Amino acid sequence: EAGVAQSPRYKIIEKRQSVAFWCNPISGHATLYWYQQILGQGPKLLIQFQNNGVVDDSQLPKDRFSAERLKGVDSTLKIQPAKLEDSAVYLCASRELVNTGELFFGEGSRLTVL
């Protein structure tokens, strides 16, 4: 079974530039999450989708971050304009609609903002 795919793995940009990350969840997983993990900290939830609808985006900085999940499969997370404090690993995770709650994580996209 293929895992959660993310790209790009690494991205370096200047502040005020924009960046987009892509995630393809495990086939059949209805729920998709984007987490932000700053160095030395645990993952922090940014947004949760179920199919193509948003369940929770209360911690997403909506003035600069946006996310979408078209057709309930792939998802993209965009940051525009980026700030220095956005430097982090952006983790995508997915989960079956009905299970005990295990999240499967992708390898992450590491963003460095200079």
In the shown chain, the binding pattern of residues 36 to 55 toward another protein, with x for contact by CB under 8 A and - for none, equals ----xxxxxx--x------x
**25 touches another protein (CB under 8 A):** no
Cβ distance to another protein smaller for residue 18 or 50: 50
Member of 11, 24, 29, 31 binding another protein (CB under 8 A): 31
Q: Which is nearer to another protein, 31 or 75 (CB)?
A: 31
| Cα gap 20→98, rounded to integer Å | 30
Contacts of 29 (CB under 8 A, 6+ apart): 94, 95, 96, 97, 104
Which x/- pattern over 53-92 shows residues binding another protein (rule: CB under 8 A)? --xx----------------------------------x-
Residue 109 interacts with another protein (CB under 8 A)?
no
Coil vs helix vs strand at 25: coil
The region, left, alpha or beta by phi > 0 then psi within -120 to 50, assigned to residue 9 is alpha
State how far the Cα of 43 lies from the Cα of 10, in Å rounded to an integer.
17
Using CB under 8 A, count the residues that bind another protein. Answer: 21
CA nearest to 77, candidates 38, 35, 114, 112: 35
Interface residues with another protein (CB under 8 A)? 31, 33, 40-45, 48, 55-56, 91, 95, 100-103, 105-108
